[in-house]
Amino acid sequence: MTKRGGTIIGLGGTMLGPGDKVPCELAMSRASNPTRRIFDAWFALRTPGGAAPSLVAWDASGAVPDLQSSILIVEILPDTKDYRYLRIGKRAAELRGYDPTGMTVRGIYTADALDFVLENYDLAVAHPCGIVDFSVDIIPDDRHVELETMLLPLSKDGTVPSHVLVYGHYITK
């Protein structure tokens, strides 16, 4: 899909080394086991026609309870070409250093970081099975490094994406 070089300085001093953004069905061979577990749970909830599951179906499934604290849900705001953070898991908020619930991507990020984050969400919405972003993100406290971010579309009606499920896989130094 896409690959960029260089470094992007993000919100709060995170350092992002942009890398491959790959459709999930191609990315699973190099994804971490937790990322694969979430993808498998999401994939199992797809409709018989192969459409993305709904947020209600995801929530009702109780899938991967041990990883829910690293998941966030983003609502698609189609008329504004923006995304609103609907909810964020405890670990995801702790690693960010804040809880962005209710905030929009355009309200949080600027410059290169904004372009990078919007591109991820746009790619996830455009691809029926979502994407994995293999960019390396170093959190400001320097103890946590995000190795991959998976973004999966969710749909209220089985046709048009309405939300994006995001899982960030971190290692701790």
Q: What is the pLDDT of residues 102-142, one digit of tens each?
A: 999 999 988 888 888 899 999 999 999 999 988 766 566 66
Structural domain contains residue 130: yes
CA distance 99 to 112: 21
pLDDT score of 71 more than 80: yes
Structural domain contains residue 47: yes
CATH of the domain at 82: 3.30.450.20
Structural domain contains residue 154: yes
What size, in residues, is the chain? 173
Structural domain contains residue 128: yes
The 3-state DSSP class for residue 45 equals: coil
Domain that holds residue 23: 8-60+68-172
Q: How many helices (H) and strands (E) does the chain have?
A: 6, 9
pTM of the model: 0.87
Structural domain contains residue 2: no
pLDDT score of 82 more than 90: yes
- Residue 3 in tokens: 């690959």
Number of domains in the chain: 1
Structural domain contains residue 44: yes
